[in-house]
Chain A
Amino acid sequence: MISLKRSLTELGQYVQTMGRTLAVPDRMRMFYKQYVTEMYQLGYNSIGLVLIISFFIGAVICLQIKLNIQSAWMPRMVVGYTTREIMLLEFSSSVMCLILSGKVGSNIASELGTMRITQQIDALDIMGVNSANYLILPKILGLMTMMPVLVTLSVFAGIVGAYATSFMGITTIPELDEGFRYDFNQWFFWCGMIKAVVYAFIISSVSAFKGYSVVGGSVEVGKASTDAVVASSILVLFADVFLTQILT
């Protein structure tokens, strides 16, 4: 009972904070500056991680299928085709965002939490700045802009990873080529983009709320950062089931 009441209160506070966040910025000039910084911080700085993970996952999926699933009665394009569809439909668009929620979510929550406990947010409020709008909106929009880019990069890195297996002599380039081109449905790509944008909103807004509403000291900042990752991961998974159902 108590925990239900607490969750509902928290939901209410989240909605309230988002209400203050989603407003026209006081100063466009300041907003653009923050927006570019956040795209760099949250997006550009994640590119390395995305490329490495996607490259290896692409390679491993390709190997698994080739070694464990493909058999004589299957067409040879199955390897490339399956790898492409897994990357496009699930890994790059959802699992990748789940991994990023760990990196980006804890980053956002601990940054805002520290600003809260060192009274930097109070200082903004005293100046008459809408602190939620100034701090959170650029993060949300920045991540929503960069996430589709990261997802696209992830798909390509996965495919490059799959090609790399041919150098191990396990697959051949022609069979992969054939698979990658076979029956390409463009809508799957757009599904990935839609998912990316929705997850970006979930991850950034939930983590920002957790950090922004910290009360206490460094222990609470640590807790907020963990909570942010847990909450945004679970919500991303829920959204995944839901979106997969309505988009396909």
Chain B
Amino acid sequence: MIQVSHLFKSFDDKEVLKDINATFKNGQINLIIGQSGSGKTVLMKNIVGLLTPTKGQILYDDRDFVSMPKKEKILLRREMGMIFQSAALFDSLTVLENVMFPLDMFSDLSRDERVKRAQLCLERVNLKGTDKKLPAELSGGMQKRVAIARAIVLQPRYLFCDEPNSGLDPKTSIVIDELIQGITHEDQITTIVNTHDMNSVMGIGENITFICEGRAEWQGSNKEIMDATNKPLQDFIFSSDILRQAKIAYDEQKITRK
């Protein structure tokens, strides 16, 4: 479980995060949603320690990350996996070497075992037989899947994904979402996903935090989100006609059921 309390972050005199409070649960997909520019990426970077918060507390299963000494931070980071918006694969290494990298760096397994473990992870993301390819030779969706394989190879306790399906078609997005969901449930990981894709929100959002202009406005599940009364949240999710109509249909159904 990751708990964020009273988190502030400003750049120079621009305040991006204003008093964020949120809880991200173990074994669930925790979504952070919000408009472009609302501060999702900045929040995630603060949580993983790529940025230092101006003020506030971040607890990883009751371990205070912000005030932790550097050495312990590095050790805690080995329990994290992250998938970046741009995949961020090492472009001079092949797919297999990319996935093996964390093992090469931190495990004492023999080479054969490392290869086997990496291949297992590649299989898990349905990428058998691409071992020797370079990242530049893969499509965007495949790169994202390699990034997932690399993030889970050390069996992390915390998985972070910054817009895992930006730039992907709806069908591939669902594949990626389901992959992340499967891994989260099977391995009981605390997964945090940044997204503004409503399909993901409805499909996999077990615990959703809505960010608007740097404030956490609402927290709940995808079942509750249809009944949410928060005005900015409603504006955000029902911004498209299709979803607005779905909402009207949903409300009517609720009335007739009563």
Give the size category of A's interface with B. Answer: 10 to 19
A196 to chain B, nearest CB (A): 27
Q: Mark B71-107, 1 if CB is under 8 A from A, else 0.
A: 0001111101110111011110000000001101110
User: CA A26 – CA B104 in complex, angstroms?
Assistant: 10
- Of the 9-residue stretches A69-77, A100-108, A117-125, A239-247, which lies at the interface with chain B? A117-125
User: Which residues 7-31 of A sit at the B interface, judged by CB distance below 8 A?
Assistant: 26-27, 29-30
Determine if A122 and B84 form an interchain contact, defined as CB atoms under 8 angstroms apart. yes
- Of the 9-residue stretches A60-68, A85-93, A126-134, A163-171, which lies at the interface with chain B? A126-134
Determine if B88 and A127 form an interchain contact, defined as CB atoms under 8 angstroms apart. no
With a cutoff of 8 Å between Cβ atoms, the chain B residues found around residue A128 in the complex are 74-78, 80, 106
User: Which residues 88-146 of B sit at the A interface, judged by CB distance below 8 A?
Assistant: 88-91, 101-102, 104-106
Determine if A127 and B105 form an interchain contact, defined as CB atoms under 8 angstroms apart. yes
User: CA A53 – CA B161 in complex, angstroms?
Assistant: 50
B242 at the interface (CB under 8 A from A): no
With a cutoff of 8 Å between Cβ atoms, the chain B residues found around residue A127 in the complex are 77-78, 80, 101-102, 105-106
Give the size category of B's interface with A. Answer: 20 to 34
Instruction: Write the chain B residue with the least CB distance to A33.
Output: B104
Our pick among A27, A118, A122 for the contact of B105 (Cβ within 8 Å) is: A27
User: CA A108 – CA B77 in complex, angstroms?
Assistant: 27
B255 at the interface (CB under 8 A from A): no
Q: Given A119-B84, A119-B88, check contact A126 B77 (CB 8 Å).
A: yes
User: CA A128 – CA B78 in complex, angstroms?
Assistant: 6
A-B contact count (CB 8 A): 51
Determine if B48 and A126 form an interchain contact, defined as CB atoms under 8 angstroms apart. yes
User: CA A51 – CA B152 in complex, angstroms?
Assistant: 48
User: CA A118 – CA B76 in complex, angstroms?
Assistant: 24
Q: Mark B49-88, 1 if CB is under 8 A from A, else 0.
A: 0100000000000000000000000111110111011101
Our pick among A30, A119, A120, A122 for the contact of B104 (Cβ within 8 Å) is: A30
Our pick among A26, A30, A120 for the contact of B88 (Cβ within 8 Å) is: A120
Determine if A125 and B78 form an interchain contact, defined as CB atoms under 8 angstroms apart. no
User: CA A29 – CA B101 in complex, angstroms?
Assistant: 12
User: CA A120 – CA B50 in complex, angstroms?
Assistant: 13
With a cutoff of 8 Å between Cβ atoms, the chain B residues found around residue A129 in the complex are 105
User: CA A126 – CA B45 in complex, angstroms?
Assistant: 10
A163 to chain B, nearest CB (A): 41
With a cutoff of 8 Å between Cβ atoms, the chain B residues found around residue A119 in the complex are 84-86, 88
With a cutoff of 8 Å between Cβ atoms, the chain B residues found around residue A123 in the complex are 82, 84, 88, 90
Q: Given A122-B50, A123-B84, check contact A29 B104 (CB 8 Å).
A: yes
B51 to chain A, nearest CB (A): 10
B156 to chain A, nearest CB (A): 10
With a cutoff of 8 Å between Cβ atoms, the chain A residues found around residue B89 in the complex are 120
B248 to chain A, nearest CB (A): 41
User: CA A125 – CA B70 in complex, angstroms?
Assistant: 12
With a cutoff of 8 Å between Cβ atoms, the chain B residues found around residue A120 in the complex are 88-91
With a cutoff of 8 Å between Cβ atoms, the chain A residues found around residue B82 in the complex are 123, 126
User: CA A209 – CA B190 in complex, angstroms?
Assistant: 35
Q: Which positions in B face A, CB cutoff 8 Å?
A: 48, 50, 74-78, 80-82, 84-86, 88-91, 101-102, 104-106, 160
Q: List 7 A-B contacts (CB under 8 A).
A: A126-B77, A126-B81, A127-B77, A127-B80, A128-B74, A129-B105, A130-B74
- Ordered nearest first, which 8 A-B pairs have the shortest CB separation? A128-B77, A119-B88, A123-B88, A128-B78, A126-B82, A128-B74, A119-B84, A120-B88
